[in-house]
A and B are shown apart, each in its own frame.
Chain A
Amino acid sequence: MIKLSKVYITGVGMTRVADHWDKDLKDLFMEAANKALADSIETHMDALYIANMCAGLAYQQENLASMLATYLNVDAIPAFRIEAGEASGAAAVLQAYQAIKSGLFDTAMVVGVEKLSDLPSTKLTLTISTTADSEYDLKNGATIQAIYAIIMKQYMNKFKATREQIAQFAVQMHRNAVKNPYAYLRFEINLKSILKAPPIAEPITLYDEAAMTDGAAAIILSRNQPKNQVSVAIEGIGVASAPHQIGLRHNLTEMACTTLAAKKAYKIAGINSSEIDIVEVHDNYTITGITSIEDLGFFKKGEAAKAVEQGLIAPDGELPVNVSGGLKARGHPLGATGVYQLAELTLQLRGEALEAQIPDVETALAHNMAGTGSLCITTILRRIK
């Protein structure tokens, strides 16, 4: 029987998620890539995987990977751009992981990069909405925001969750982001400001939504275990899709893709949800943060909103969720978000997350999702002693 190699994350590099007015896609890419290379023992990359969702629509730039590879100054590197909506980051990592696992490559760099701050809001809204079903949802007026508003309403009705409990998720995210030097919104907000913020799609207000802007995160994957630093390995990746059209879903308060992807990842890693020490979830809206921590198996259905209110997901709670600040406050550079999650968890596992460090993190989970829950990729990382 062929023993497949482990895949290690041997280097990470991030730009701060911010409105980088003076930087374009390649500047952001280069900053993250160079930081990851400086952080890694590896000096040679066999392949480059770019995670990006918007370059084609926003900047008329397809074939992005070879364009960016040009600036990396490495000869003839195989380069790919992976697009899977907002799950592009985790999807690109999966591709690199498979290639190394199979023996095709020994090392690979994955860079998630997105440049959104230049887009007018109408164009940005349209771009994001293309991850929903263009024919059945979008053209009938169901924007991403409208669909999540329906989900939030259903959740509140079904589980008697209060608006305040759901908004508390955003309060916690902002509190967490204060300690993350890579976060976009490093300030605290209170419940009142969330509830009184301009409505986007009732009951969702502006402060329920993830903050979308620029950023690049890079990780280096390798079959070689680093000798001089704590090793972080990818223990399992689970992927599942769900019906794209919202009308085909049987249950709006559960993201079936998350439930299935999590089960697969736990099975591959040989663990269950109780063994996860820290988690980064795809909270593109506060309600998604709530449903995701249920669907990943950390809380029973309908109980997460109360758990958030009780502080169970705080850094000193039972299960620290989005210590980075999450999509809400670390920021959501769409296609790059999944790579940020893994870079941040790697720092936690290595004990290098500085002020945001959670003690004794052994096992971590990242949850990256696309559209309104049509695709989910769940990745489990573990510190190897």
Chain B
Amino acid sequence: MRPSSPVGIFGWGGYIPKYRIKGEEIARIWGKSPDYSLRLGVKEKAVAGPDEDTTTIAYEAAYNALLRAQIDPKEIGAIFVGTESKPYAVKPTGTIVAEALGATPNLLCADFEFACKAGTEALQCCIGLTASGMIKYGLAIGADTAQSAPNDPLEYSAASGGAAFIVGRANADAAAIIHATYTYVTDTPDFWRRQGQPYPKHGERFTGMPAYFRHIREAAEGLMEELGLTPLDINYVVFHQPNGKFPLRAARMLGFTIEQVNPGLLVPEIGNTYSGSSPLGLAAVLDIAKPQETILVVSYGSGAGSDAFYITVEDAIEEKRNLAPKIRDYIERKCYIDYATYAKYRGKLVFG
């Protein structure tokens, strides 16, 4: 899918809560080997505090994106929030973010859900709306306070965080240009959470080859083939990061090196932020990428699908980079908590 006119990223920003719990601490509670989470490639994960939720994370990320875009929030014609941890089952997260940013009332607003790829789907919709000229700028956010059942392997990775992107028709102020996107979707039930259930369930090994790897591979190869690209043409590649092993294996399968993956690989230090995962990886790469460098982003959402994007970095990135905190700043700002505090903050203690 190529937009009818080029679409640029004018602002990007991320947010990661400061609380961290080590995999070792989770393993201690459940009687697992201390290196259990290291085997999944996750050292520690970010935990939302008691006064944080997907809305506050989405707002923080969007605010940082706005700082870099330097536009009037009233020019934002759409705000879409991709998440699987909406604070309200019925009531949009996006309207709260829009009101807080000062973007209301003349804009489209909706929350998207497609497991971990809802954020990139929000981005695709913003690309379409801005390229067609229906709106001037679109704000796409992927954010989550990821749920995981106690003592589930997911508990070692499910984390909180998010990233936001302001896109519009490309001009000299664009920090990067999104040239094309490609989506691969099938009905693959590898991970799900039914209505009313507090925690998701997953199909264990089924989440690997027929789910994550198949969709990532098809979307990445589909896009590269459409654009006549090879891994050698790409400087950075960002995959969805459910754990530390899957993205590295996907990279090997597709012919990318660890050096192309590492700058956007955040999961070992912050965990899997679900809808925020690949968007945060992209934000981290934009924090350091130089003009004329190229980026391939491939998200993955269970259920299942992958969105791939081909992005080139433009000159304007240099003057925007330092206008807001970087992802690395948030990674390094941390405060360790024990399992009891984590259980309290994440609402895992059920009274009565």
Interface, chain A (partner B; CB < 8 A): 19, 21-22, 117-118, 120-121, 198-199
Closest A residue to B39 by beta carbon equals A198
Interface, chain B (partner A; CB < 8 A): 33, 36, 39, 203-206, 209-210
- 18 pairs of residues in contact across A and B, judged by CB atoms under 8 Å: A19-B205, A19-B209, A19-B210, A21-B206, A21-B209, A21-B210, A22-B210, A117-B205, A117-B206, A118-B203, A118-B206, A120-B203, A120-B204, A121-B204, A198-B33, A198-B36, A198-B39, A199-B33
Closest A residue to B33 by beta carbon equals A198
User: How close is B294's CB to chain A, nearest CB, in angstroms?
Assistant: 33
Q: What residues of chain A lie closer than 8 Å to B206, measured between beta carbons?
A: 21, 117-118
User: How close is A259's CB to chain B, nearest CB, in angstroms?
Assistant: 37
User: How close is A315's CB to chain B, nearest CB, in angstroms?
Assistant: 30
Closest B residue to A122 by beta carbon equals B204
Closest A residue to B153 by beta carbon equals A121
Identify whether the interface residues of A are mostly helix, strand, loop, or mixed.
loop
User: How close is A122's CB to chain B, nearest CB, in angstroms?
Assistant: 9
Closest B residue to A124 by beta carbon equals B204
Query: Given the complex of chains A and B, what is the CA–CA distance between A22 and B188 in angstroms?
Result: 11
Identify whether the interface residues of B are mostly helix, strand, loop, or mixed.
helix
Q: What residues of chain B lie closer than 8 Å to A120, measured between beta carbons?
A: 203-204
Query: Given the complex of chains A and B, what is the CA–CA distance between A145 and B350 in angstroms?
Result: 34
Closest B residue to A121 by beta carbon equals B204
Q: What residues of chain A lie closer than 8 Å to B33, measured between beta carbons?
A: 198-199
Q: What residues of chain A lie closer than 8 Å to B209, measured between beta carbons?
A: 19, 21
CB-CB nearest 3 A-B residue pairs: A21-B210, A120-B204, A121-B204
Q: What residues of chain A lie closer than 8 Å to B204, measured between beta carbons?
A: 120-121
Q: What residues of chain B lie closer than 8 Å to A21, measured between beta carbons?
A: 206, 209-210
Query: Given the complex of chains A and B, what is the CA–CA distance between A120 and B205 in angstroms?
Result: 8
Query: Given the complex of chains A and B, what is the CA–CA distance between A198 and B205 in angstroms?
Result: 16
User: How close is B205's CB to chain A, nearest CB, in angstroms?
Assistant: 7
Query: Given the complex of chains A and B, what is the CA–CA distance between A287 and B166 in angstroms?
Result: 60
Q: What residues of chain B lie closer than 8 Å to A118, measured between beta carbons?
A: 203, 206
Q: What residues of chain B lie closer than 8 Å to A19, measured between beta carbons?
A: 205, 209-210
Q: What residues of chain B lie closer than 8 Å to A199, measured between beta carbons?
A: 33
User: How close is A256's CB to chain B, nearest CB, in angstroms?
Assistant: 35
Q: What residues of chain B lie closer than 8 Å to A198, measured between beta carbons?
A: 33, 36, 39
Closest A residue to B214 by beta carbon equals A21
Query: Given the complex of chains A and B, what is the CA–CA distance between A21 and B186 in angstroms?
Result: 14
Q: What residues of chain A lie closer than 8 Å to B36, measured between beta carbons?
A: 198
Q: What residues of chain A lie closer than 8 Å to B39, measured between beta carbons?
A: 198
Query: Given the complex of chains A and B, what is the CA–CA distance between A120 and B201 in angstroms?
Result: 10
Given contacts A19-B209, A21-B206, 7 further A-B contacts (CB under 8 A): A21-B210, A117-B205, A117-B206, A118-B203, A118-B206, A120-B204, A121-B204
Q: What residues of chain B lie closer than 8 Å to A121, measured between beta carbons?
A: 204
User: How close is B156's CB to chain A, nearest CB, in angstroms?
Assistant: 13
User: How close is A206's CB to chain B, nearest CB, in angstroms?
Assistant: 11
- Which of A21, A22, A199 has the most B CB atoms < 10 Å from its CB? A21
User: How close is A86's CB to chain B, nearest CB, in angstroms?
Assistant: 20
Query: Given the complex of chains A and B, what is the CA–CA distance between A198 and B37 in angstroms?
Result: 12
User: How close is B186's CB to chain A, nearest CB, in angstroms?
Assistant: 11
Q: What residues of chain A lie closer than 8 Å to B210, measured between beta carbons?
A: 19, 21-22
User: How close is B27's CB to chain A, nearest CB, in angstroms?
Assistant: 11
Query: Given the complex of chains A and B, what is the CA–CA distance between A199 and B27 in angstroms?
Result: 14
Query: Given the complex of chains A and B, what is the CA–CA distance between A28 and B205 in angstroms?
Result: 19
Query: Given the complex of chains A and B, what is the CA–CA distance between A88 and B276 in angstroms?
Result: 48
User: How close is A198's CB to chain B, nearest CB, in angstroms?
Assistant: 7
Q: What residues of chain A lie closer than 8 Å to B203, measured between beta carbons?
A: 118, 120
Query: Given the complex of chains A and B, what is the CA–CA distance between A22 and B36 in angstroms?
Result: 31
Query: Given the complex of chains A and B, what is the CA–CA distance between A117 and B203 in angstroms?
Result: 9
Query: Given the complex of chains A and B, what is the CA–CA distance between A199 and B203 in angstroms?
Result: 22
Closest B residue to A199 by beta carbon equals B33
Query: Given the complex of chains A and B, what is the CA–CA distance between A19 and B206 in angstroms?
Result: 9
- Which of B33, B205, B209 has the most A CB atoms < 10 Å from its CB? B205
Query: Given the complex of chains A and B, what is the CA–CA distance between A136 and B205 in angstroms?
Result: 32
User: How close is B31's CB to chain A, nearest CB, in angstroms?
Assistant: 11
Closest B residue to A120 by beta carbon equals B204
Query: Given the complex of chains A and B, what is the CA–CA distance between A21 and B214 in angstroms?
Result: 12
User: How close is A50's CB to chain B, nearest CB, in angstroms?
Assistant: 25
Query: Given the complex of chains A and B, what is the CA–CA distance between A117 and B39 in angstroms?
Result: 22
Query: Given the complex of chains A and B, what is the CA–CA distance between A234 and B206 in angstroms?
Result: 39
